[in-house]
Structure 1
Amino acid sequence: MITLFLSAALFAIGSIGVAIRRNPLIMFMCIELMLNSANLALATFSRYYSRIPETLPGGVELVANNDLGSAADGSIFVFLVMTIAAAEAVVGLAIIIAIFRTRKQVDADELSELKG
């Protein structure tokens, strides 16, 4: 359970960083931190739910047909989020580099209008 608190703390730090910082590179790093905290929570839940026994001591059935899904479900979602985060980083950094080449600055407050 401590990993869930760590995940929540990392997500809070990332969201505060996105709200406070004006540099798009640092904002992307904070977004990556938020995505990785979600990965940590997914992996924690996957590990926790894979430990639930199907029968209690004494032969009492807890889950009939393992309706909770397999233990790999959380790992699949972690891989999916990592893939999306990598694509987001590539596209975001390409946009930031293109903006820096044309305007010679990357302050988020100054980048509010779209000019060609």
Structure 2
Amino acid sequence: MVPLWWYIALAVVLFGIGAAGVLLRRNILVVLMSLELLLNSVNINFIAFGHYYGDFRGQIFAIFVIAITAAEVAIALGILVALVRNKATLKVDDVTILKG
């Protein structure tokens, strides 16, 4: 049986990689993938703690997070396609269309 702290360590590493990717933010695709890593690290914690305590609420909450993430990715990719058509760039710093 794998101890709980291994799951926590894996989630911390994934969260760190995702946070670094969001903070470096050179490319919109890198930011989206980093956000996915952040959310997946949280899901690992939900599932690991849910299994450790014998409660299914962690798994259920992780399923809701995955569903919301899928909707977020669909919207973000739609915005990304519109930005590439208008600006022809994927760099975050070059995109100023959405400033109001």
TM (normalized to structure 1)? 0.78
How far, CA to CA, are the matches of 2:20 and 2:27 in structure 1? 13
2:7/2:44 contact within 8 Å kept: yes
1:27-61 deviations in Å (ceiling 9; x for gaps): 000100110010000001001111xxxxxxxxxxx
Query: What are the within-5 Å matches in structure 2 for residues 11-90 of structure 1?
Result: 11-50=15-54, 71-90=55-74
Unaligned runs of 5+ in 2: none
Kindly report the root-mean-square deviation, in angstroms, between the aligned alpha carbons of the 2 structures. 1.2
Larger radius of gyration: 1
Identity of aligned residues (%): 38
Which structure dedicates a bigger proportion of its chain to helix? 2
2:87/2:95 contact within 8 Å kept: no
How far, CA to CA, are the matches of 2:74 and 2:35 in structure 1? 13
How far, CA to CA, are the matches of 2:45 and 2:98 in structure 1? 37
How far, CA to CA, are the matches of 1:104 and 1:6 in structure 2? 37
How far, CA to CA, are the matches of 1:84 and 1:8 in structure 2? 22
Q: Is 2:94 aligned against 1:110?
A: yes
CA shift for structure 1 position 114: 3.2
TM (normalized to structure 2)? 0.89
Equivalenced residues, count: 95
Superposition misfits of 4+ residues, deviation over 3 angstroms: none
How far, CA to CA, are the matches of 1:106 and 1:3 in structure 2? 34
